[in-house]
Amino acid sequence: MVRFLSVLVFILFAGSLAAPTGAVYRITEQDRADIDRIEKYLNKMESLRSKFVQLSSGDRFAEGTIYIERPKRLRLAYKKPSNIQIYANGNWLAHVDTDLEAIWHVPLKSTPAAFLVRDKIKLRGDITVERVMRDARTISVSLVQTAEPDAGRFVLTFSDGPLALRKWTVTDVQGVSTTVTLVAPAYNIAIPRDVFIFDETKFDRERQ
């Protein structure tokens, strides 16, 4: 279950972030300007509500609705698989399986999900931008953990003009990739507080 949880959750923000390969990419002045612009954008993104579709290696498919309210609030309301729900409201992330009537808790800060719900998002320090990629309509940044750059990769992709978060792709150390694409996202909107609250008394057993 721990492996399933890590795949499912990031899936969303990715469990372990595959090792960079090829020649070393040198960050340019234009890259630095875009990194600063993306960092400022992410810090202005106080909330997000969006449908999402999730595709993983092996043609695994999931879909649902994601809610984010910074700092520290997250909800993944899965439509498929409908028995899985993810909640973060404070310092813990709760994985709920309604079929098993069970809840698993992990510290939010120990999951990659914590990145997008930080009080202050920084694309430096414990996170390093290894590459900036552009095409006619999008800009992407490839992120690695500064202390463990070979542990995996997390790519955020934005539409550009205006800048808006559209998807992220996670590749773990085994080379398994998961892409989450936002569908009709709404940013900086009011989200009812009860969206992030789950009544744990519905279940009488909990597993770690």
Domain boundaries, the chain: 2-187
The pair of three-digit structure tokens given for residue 160, joined into one six-digit string: 């550009």
Q: What is the pLDDT of residues 89-99, one digit of tens each?
A: 888 889 999 89
Question: What is the reported pLDDT for 22?
Answer: 53
User: What pLDDT is attached to residue 178?
Assistant: 87
- Residues with Cβ within 8 Å of residue 157, at least 6 apart in sequence: 138, 139, 140, 165, 166, 167, 168, 169
State the pLDDT at residue 109.
78
Check residue 176 and give its pLDDT. Answer: 86
Rounded-to-integer distance, Cα 40 and Cα 160, Å: 14
Distances (CA, A) of 2 to 5, 8, 15, 77, 111: 5, 10, 11, 19, 12
Measured in degrees and rounded to the nearest 5, phi and psi for residue 202 equal -65, -25
pLDDT, residue 204, reads 52
Residues belonging to the chain: 208
Give the DSSP letter of residue 188.
S
**Gyration radius of the chain's alpha carbons:** 17
Q: What is the pLDDT of residue 4?
A: 39
Intervals of the chain under pLDDT 70: 1-23, 112, 202-208
**Tokens in use for 4?**
């399933």
Which residue, chain included where needed, has tokens 């997250």?
A: 74
Checking 126-132 for CB contacts under 8 A at 24+ apart, the result is 129/27, 129/31, 129/35, 130/20, 130/25, 131/25, 132/27, 132/28, 132/30, 132/31, 132/34, 132/35
Top-level CATH class of 2-187? Answer: mainly beta
